[in-house]
A and B are shown apart, each in its own frame.
Chain A
Amino acid sequence: QLQLQESGPGLVKPSETLSLTCTVSGGSISGSSYYWGWIRQPPGKGLEWIGSIYYSGSIYYNPSLKSRVTMSVDTSKNQFSLNLSSVTAADTAVYYCSSAVYYFDYWGQGTLVTVSS
């Protein structure tokens, strides 16, 4: 069974870049048909898909965030990463990493990222 774990700073200053990594265990990032994705949830609000990446390099971003998002995969470390640039307070949220064929079946526990000076 896959397990996913997010890691990264819990506090980011406005205008800086939010960087998170998701470590996958229980399976190989490159050995499955999963898309590896990021989803966020502002405090008290709903879920927003950020983007998804396939190990071979196909990447899809939410059009609403596309200009600020970069995702990558490191198959040697069985990890994938998220960079979100020029953050504002509106980017404060719990960030989840997840695996998806088309629906999201495995999730990390989530990590709260607060944007504040």
Chain B
Amino acid sequence: EIVMTQSPGTLSVSPGERATLSCRASQSVSSNLAWYQQKPGQAPRLLIHGASTRATGIPARFSGSGSGTEFTLTISSLQSEDFAVYYCQQYNNWPPWTFGQGTKVEIK
């Protein structure tokens, strides 16, 4: 099973600033990585797949990069609606599909 590790656990950022979230895989997942956003009381929402392809309707301020074992989600200028928990997920070796433990982006 591939273990996904996200850092930091919590990221405190001011509105308008850049946020950089990391995700590491225990072995290579190529570019088969997705990012999700989850707000309280809501289901996760797909943001990025293929490590860097934005899902339909996702604003351009969200960008993903990386391949192999190291990945980054960048939010270029945080808006109030971006404060949430973010999860990465690998789909290179399955089953099982595996998620990271999440990074909470909170208002500084």
Contact = CB atoms under 8 A, between A and B. Distances in A.
Interface of A: 37, 46-49, 51-52, 60-64, 96, 100, 102-105, 107-110
Interface string B76-108: 000000000001010100111111111000000
B8 interface: no
Interface string B27-70: 00000101010000011111001000001000000000000000
Q: What are the nearest 4 A-B pairs in CB distance?
A: A103-B34, A102-B91, A107-B43, A60-B95
A60 B46 CA distance: 21
Main secondary structure of the interface of B (DSSP, over half): loop
Interface of B: 1, 32, 34, 36, 42-46, 49, 55, 87, 89, 91, 94-102
15 contacts: A46-B87, A47-B87, A47-B102, A49-B95, A52-B97, A63-B95, A96-B43, A100-B91, A102-B91, A104-B36, A104-B44, A104-B89, A107-B44, A108-B43, A109-B42
